[in-house]
Structure 1
Amino acid sequence: MTDFIVDQDLKELTEHRTVVLPLACYETTITQNINGHIPLHWHEELQFVLILKGTAMFQVNEENITVREGEGLFINSGCLHMANDHDESSCVYICLNVSPSFVLSQELYTTLVVPYIQATNIPFLHLLPAAPWANHMLDSISAINQLIKEKPPYYEIDISTQLAHIWKNFIMNGVPLEYEQTEVIKNDRMKQMLNWIHLHYAEKILLDDIARAGRLSRSECCRYFKRTLKETPLQYVTNYRIQRSLLLLQQRESNVTDVAYQVGFNSTSYFIDRFRKSMKMTPLAYKKRFLPF
């Protein structure tokens, strides 16, 4: 089981860097994450995905996308996203995260990269191999993965060439760029509310507190969460507390009651009930999986 570390405002803390290159490319199995899925997060890097096996359900901002074997997904810089395995398919995918400034030379970055990462109408693109431009992108993702595995002489130059090829085909898909300030504000307010929850999850939290963090009314706050996360703000708080409890339960000296109170539950029985519904096992059973007695 691997952990997936984010900071208080959901920004992923994984260092996306391979040797001296500002990118990371690796194969990941969704169910091997400590949460059983890839939790909600964001990062400044551009993300390119190629499904090697099974099917994944991605959520990017407010939209859900089913990505099947052989297909891929582009996720733009700064977009909130998460992933779940679909139908117990043991989904495995290549994940390529690249610093936007590394995609093209600095001379071309301002005119051919910045407008696309700032566009509010391209949070993601579903890469289907039937479209030639998308198929070329998928081939390049696979090629970069192989280059990093084998590290032939001057492979860094080959990676740079493949990245330029990916970006050229991305541009060739022909999506007109749109810029809506309201979308930027919505995204920022959502991050502010999530950030507040992640800072205060161990304390008593009221809906008014969350709404205030996003400078919204209670009803508008609920609409934001329903639209983006398909759950209420307080349901998200409960699920986040359970997520935070996982690492604590893996510590040998911890006990279920202490963990419940450390993550903000004021009742051990309620913590056990919510944990069982979320993880399909009790907290004690989860603890025994990692620390057999």
Structure 2
Amino acid sequence: MQIKDFMIDQNLKELTEHRTVMLPFACYETTINKNINEHIPLHWHDELQFILVRKGEASFQVNEEKLTVREEEGLFINSGCLHMAKDQIDSGCVYICLNVSPSFILSQELYTTFVTPYIQATNLPYLHLVPKELWAKNILDSLMKIYQLTKENQPYYEIDISVHLTLMWKNLIMNGVQLEYEQKEMIKNQRMKQMLNWIHTHYAEKILLDDIARAGELSRSECCRYFKRILKKTPLHYVTDYRIQKSLFLLQQSESNVTEVAYQVGFNSTSYFIDRFRQSMNMTPLAYKKYKIADLIGEGV
């Protein structure tokens, strides 16, 4: 399964349902540059996420931290953390992704003691899984086995998956992370989500810095500091990038034209839209539209 049209709501919460018919989890292989955006855009979800890079390497951002995950390495991303991924230097990065509901990790009797403290900790947004560490290798080995089990679909495979999930979580909590709970960090993450939520709701309208700052209950200067620290860009630069991201799907509709799309996503000038699109995508919107429609025809869609 390859999720190409990566759907998120106004809160950046991913809308993809991460479950099989019976179980609250999903395990699949994905190629980053086959996504409609040619990267995995910024989003979050309640599920825990485990990743194993099988080919190439990827640049991930989790909250405000960036790291590179190379072939045979992996990544754990905690529940509720903002994250995104890009192919590193066009390596053709392919990875296995496991998304699982925290409630499925352990039984209800063990959940409060061994799961809740870890998903609520503010110093555990992610863990880089490097196979030279035995605990990390055990997690990656179990992730690979779960992926194989979902493909083989043998009798009682659900029980085997449950066993491997338990082993993965046991190895994760045994690595010795000292958990911390900082109220300031929780508030910062919530305010960032509030501002992004406001942008994603109003991106097609005229947006001022004051509007974004007000959504996060911050001053203009503090709002800019949040975006610079977490997203490495100004709030209004983020708005422009998000509008371009939203234009990609619209441009693939055969009946759309560039001017209509520009105004639909909030640009009040077609020439400015074309200029910013070219800077972001290294081609004009019209060239992108022709390229994508030809690609869809080639795939027989």
Partner of 1:165: 167
Displacement after TM superposition at 1:18 (Å): 1.3
Match of 2:123 among 121, 124, 149: 121
Counterparts of residues 64-79 of structure 1 (less than 5 Å): 64-79=66-81
Partner of 2:279: 277
Q: What is the rounded CA distance, in whole Å, between the counterparts of 1:197 and 1:242 in structure 2?
A: 13
Displacement after TM superposition at 1:291 (Å): 2.4
Partner of 2:151: 149
Instruction: Name the amino acid aligned to 2:132.
Output: A
Secondary structure at the counterpart of residue 95 of structure 2: strand
1:183-238 deviation digits (Å, cap 9, x = unpaired): 11000000000000000000000000000000000000000001110000000000
Q: What is the rounded CA distance, in whole Å, between the counterparts of 2:231 and 2:122 in structure 1?
A: 19
Q: What is the rounded CA distance, in whole Å, between the counterparts of 1:82 and 1:184 in structure 2?
A: 20
Q: What is the rounded CA distance, in whole Å, between the counterparts of 2:158 and 2:212 in structure 1?
A: 45
Counterparts of residues 22-101 of structure 1 (less than 5 Å): 22-101=24-103
Displacement after TM superposition at 1:172 (Å): 0.7
Secondary structure at the counterpart of residue 87 of structure 1: helix
Note the residue ranges of structure 1 that are not aligned, 5 or more in a row: none
Displacement after TM superposition at 1:19 (Å): 1.9
Partner of 2:198: 196
Instruction: Name the amino acid aligned to 1:146.
Output: Q
Match of 2:214 among 189, 212, 215: 212
Q: What is the rounded CA distance, in whole Å, between the counterparts of 1:54 and 1:175 in structure 2?
A: 29
Displacement after TM superposition at 1:152 (Å): 1.1
Match of 1:245 among 241, 244, 247: 247
Instruction: Name the amino acid aligned to 1:9.
Output: N
Return 244-253 or 207-216, whichever deviates more: 244-253
Match of 2:9 among 4, 7, 10: 7
Q: What is the rounded CA distance, in whole Å, between the counterparts of 1:182 and 1:13 in structure 2?
A: 28
1:82-117 deviation digits (Å, cap 9, x = unpaired): 000001100000000000000001110111000000
C-alpha RMSD of the superposition: 0.9
Q: How many residues align?
A: 293
Q: What is the rounded CA distance, in whole Å, between the counterparts of 1:13 and 1:88 in structure 2?
A: 27
Note the residue ranges of structure 2 that are not aligned, 5 or more in a row: none
Instruction: Name the amino acid aligned to 1:97.
Output: N
Q: What is the rounded CA distance, in whole Å, between the counterparts of 2:188 and 2:144 in structure 1?
A: 34
Match of 2:234 among 232, 237, 240: 232
Provide the TM-score with structure 1 as the length reference.
0.99
Identity of counterpart residues, as a percentage?
A: 76
Partner of 1:255: 257
Partner of 2:141: 139
Q: What is the rounded CA distance, in whole Å, between the counterparts of 2:74 and 2:264 in structure 1?
A: 39
Q: What is the rounded CA distance, in whole Å, between the counterparts of 1:2 and 1:135 in structure 2?
A: 29
Instruction: Name the amino acid aligned to 2:232.
Output: K
Instruction: Name the amino acid aligned to 1:223.
Output: R
Partner of 1:288: 290
Displacement after TM superposition at 1:290 (Å): 2.5
1:96-144 deviation digits (Å, cap 9, x = unpaired): 0000000001110111000000000000000000110000000000000
